[in-house]
Structure 1
Amino acid sequence: MAIDRRLFIKAVLAMGGLSLGGSWAWETRAEDSGRLIVIFLRGGLDGLFAFSPVADSQLASLRPTLARTVIERGIPLGSSGFAAHPACAPLAELFQTGELAFAPCAGSIDTSRSHFLAQDIFELGTGRTRGASGFMSRAASELGGAQDSISFTSAVPLAFRGTVMPEVAQFGTSRFNLPSGRFLEAIRQTHAGEPSGAALEQAIATEAAIAAALAEGAMERGADQGAAATSGFARVARNMAKVLRRNPRFSLAFVDIGGIDTHANQETILERALSSLSEGIVALRSELGSAEWQRTQVLVCSEFGRTVRENGTGGTDHGHGGLMLLAGGAVRGGRMLGGFDGLNDTRLNEGRDLPVSLDWRDVLGGALQASFALDEAALDRVFPGRPGRRLES
């Protein structure tokens, strides 16, 4: 009897993706097709914390607390003048093996500093705050049904709304909501001394830090728009990869995560968040396997960056230009994209933020073109009004 694909996906995801390693696979890959996975970080990531311009003499004075670790123990990123925070060590390794490129000053034309407007502008991909369709739906339409799309989110995101809708696969929240008291202690004792115990303690600490930040007003409620926190992303990424590996026709994929809107206590929160993000991207690489990774591009970005100067509460505020990562076996990595003009006030947007020197529509457009051989006219339909800057191949 025929198997309904949508119901089958929901069934295996309900079991945590554990059955996906079996013999089920209903499609074969179209020849010479690539894959694009978009990881959207809701909340405004401080990219300067993750990948820092340590060669710039002003970094230490602008960020006397937040830059200390990366200045002392950062991992150099080639000759770019940047170093990766130790929490991003797996990403630095991908850079060194030529499987990751980064743009420190990427973003959109939006200057509102509003999470919601900036997120809408990104997901619509038109440079506007309203529209009938998102860029991933339009990209799927341009592929004409030759490829399938999937969104690992709680609902269809704005990026995928339109005439071509994706499968929606939710792995569940990364938040534990564990009981307190004796029951929690019993669970901890059961896992003590095991790898699962260390993971449990890290997740509990991360959730506690996020809860404290919310209580103190250090993070804005609602900026995540329902996206799961980063603490569980490595698990989610492994399950995503299992789905994608067994079903190669899912060539467009989207996932969003949150917990990065750090107005205070940023070092504690972001160290854990970036560690989970890095582990998740490496988990994608491992679980996809060599053949699937070689046809994959993973784009990681946030709606905007943060202020260059740290504030008085150990955090940063909403900014403009931010970090974009492009990883994958199909990426020419080991390089910086879009340039960087330094931290001098005269080089900053409004004297406080990194400027936008690279429009993310051009990066997305380049990834779509490389993955699916879309021509310029098709890219203009996916991203109307895009600057059309070509990246070096």
Structure 2
Amino acid sequence: MNFDYLNRRDFLKIGIASSIAGISDLGSAQVQKKSNGVLMAPRMSHPFIVVFLRGGADGLAMLSPLNDENFIAARPPEMRFTIEASSGKVESENATFYWHPEASPLASLFMDRKLIVWNALGITDETRSHFEAQEIMERGVKSLNSLPDDLGWMARQVVDKTRFQAANSIPLFAGNNNSPRSMQGAHRAIAVRDIQGGIALPNGVNGFNALSALCNADGNSIASPWIKDHLSNLDFINQTLGRGNGKALSYDSSGKIPYPNADPGVGLRSVVRLIDANVGLQYAWVDQSGWDTHENQPGRMNGQIKNLSNSLAAFAQDMEGKNQPYTLAVMTEFGRRLRSNHSNGTDHDHGSLGLIMGSHIPGGSVIRAMAWLKYKSARQGRRFGGDN
């Protein structure tokens, strides 16, 4: 089937293609920058942030082609919202898409030319396993059959780079409780979901001092330099957020929209605090889980989309108010089928919706609208294996 894919020149004009390691336009040529068989992100002059929607987000529920006959036939009324209830529309390539009712902040960002809509974005690997697909994307590889190294793609950007060897620099940060695989292998990667009260050290100050003393006493240990560096960075963050007093000060956003007290808002607030603290942050990662909607999708999507939309809007306003340049990409491991299942949900399929937000992007544009629908419609009858 012949799809009208984005050509290489237009793809590169966006200036973000090589920033999104491990994913590609479905069916299009691989145009990401490559090094030794792995996908690389560019050296950027400002922070690059990923918001990852774990579970395989249904992009067609977030931005729906409500007038399309295939979409109407594939999903019953209870799986769709009405045009009247939508937050706005996106028109491109003779196709009209409508924002979910809870996506009003995204619709506003798009209308204000601060957001790019990227349809049919996903990996080319056929896996329908969440874990395998996430691993491929976070490692920045095309396949897990032959891995070039043990690094995640964000770690690969900074490991052994002398410009990140300065003491107390924090090049990698995850606004999560756990470090993502994208940062695997980098010793200067810190993961803390919420730093509003600073970073709680294990067993408090006494535990911190005891571990530091142990590292000093056992200087020949392979792990000692790494642990000392990590402890130093944790203390550096606390001192920075407390302006030398150790206890983090309260944070006031530069925007009017408050950060939701939920993912990904909490993690994004932590990211912007570190960016504002000027700690040398280059790459950040924030998860939002809960997108695996095999059943009861409409009700579950309301909360998911609301938190995502408000979080992104709060972050955009905050960064703009601080006059801080950045690029942020929203992605997920794969999409969901055009046809709904018998549990008011959708099952695993290929590409989903990607969003690009930032200070130096051609916002208000749409990449590949009609090709997405044609692709989903062509695959509608095809079934994949069970979930892993």
TM-score normalised per structure 2 = 0.62
The DSSP-based 3-state class of the residue aligned with 1:255 is strand
- Aligned pair 1:96/2:101, yes or no? no
Which residue of 74, 78, 102 maps to 1:62? 74
* Alignment match, 2:191: 168
How far did 1:168 drift?
2.2
Paired residues for 1:137-152 under 5 Å:
137-141=155-159, 144-145=162-163, 148-152=171-175
CA offset digits 1:270-326 (Å, max 9, x no partner) = 111110011111111223343444x11110111000011111111001111111111
Which residue of 283, 297, 315 maps to 2:327? 297
- Aligned pair 1:109/2:106, yes or no? no
The DSSP-based 3-state class of the residue aligned with 2:154 is helix
Where does the alignment leave 5 or more consecutive residues of structure 1 unmatched? 1-31, 173-202, 204-229, 354-393
* Alignment match, 2:89: 76
How far did 1:345 drift?
7.3
* Alignment match, 1:286: 317
In the alignment, the residues of structure 1 paired with residue 290 and residue 372 of structure 2 have an alpha-carbon distance, to the nearest angstrom, of 28
In the alignment, the residues of structure 2 paired with residue 277 and residue 143 of structure 1 have an alpha-carbon distance, to the nearest angstrom, of 33
How far did 1:60 drift?
1.5
8 Å contact kept, 1:44–1:305: yes
Structure 1 counterpart of 2:108, one-letter code: E
Structure 2 counterpart of 1:234, one-letter code: G
Structure 2 counterpart of 1:325, one-letter code: L
Q: Which has the larger share of helix?
A: 1
* Alignment match, 2:179: 156
In the alignment, the residues of structure 1 paired with residue 267 and residue 73 of structure 2 have an alpha-carbon distance, to the nearest angstrom, of 38
Structure 1 counterpart of 2:353, one-letter code: L
Q: Specify whether residues 315 and 139 from structure 1 end up closer, same or farther in structure 2 by C-alpha distance, changes over 3 A only.
A: same
CA offset digits 1:141-171 (Å, max 9, x no partner) = 4865358221222232210112454222232
TM-score normalised per structure 1 = 0.61
In the alignment, the residues of structure 2 paired with residue 276 and residue 88 of structure 1 have an alpha-carbon distance, to the nearest angstrom, of 9
In the alignment, the residues of structure 2 paired with residue 238 and residue 160 of structure 1 have an alpha-carbon distance, to the nearest angstrom, of 19
Higher Cα Rg, which structure: 2
The DSSP-based 3-state class of the residue aligned with 1:250 is coil
In the alignment, the residues of structure 1 paired with residue 82 and residue 328 of structure 2 have an alpha-carbon distance, to the nearest angstrom, of 25
CA RMSD in angstroms comes to 2.6
The DSSP-based 3-state class of the residue aligned with 2:366 is coil
Paired residues for 1:48-59 under 5 Å:
48-59=60-71
8 Å contact kept, 1:78–1:334: no
In the alignment, the residues of structure 1 paired with residue 54 and residue 376 of structure 2 have an alpha-carbon distance, to the nearest angstrom, of 29
Where does the alignment leave 5 or more consecutive residues of structure 2 unmatched? 1-43, 196-259, 384-388
Q: Specify whether residues 55 and 350 from structure 1 end up closer, same or farther in structure 2 by C-alpha distance, changes over 3 A only.
A: closer
8 Å contact kept, 1:66–1:310: no
* Alignment match, 2:56: 44
Number of aligned residues: 265
Q: Specify whether residues 154 and 234 from structure 1 end up closer, same or farther in structure 2 by C-alpha distance, changes over 3 A only.
A: closer
Structure 1 counterpart of 2:360, one-letter code: A
- Aligned pair 1:86/2:104, yes or no? no
CA offset digits 1:1-28 (Å, max 9, x no partner) = xxxxxxxxxxxxxxxxxxxxxxxxxxxx
In the alignment, the residues of structure 1 paired with residue 293 and residue 301 of structure 2 have an alpha-carbon distance, to the nearest angstrom, of 8
* Alignment match, 2:359: 329
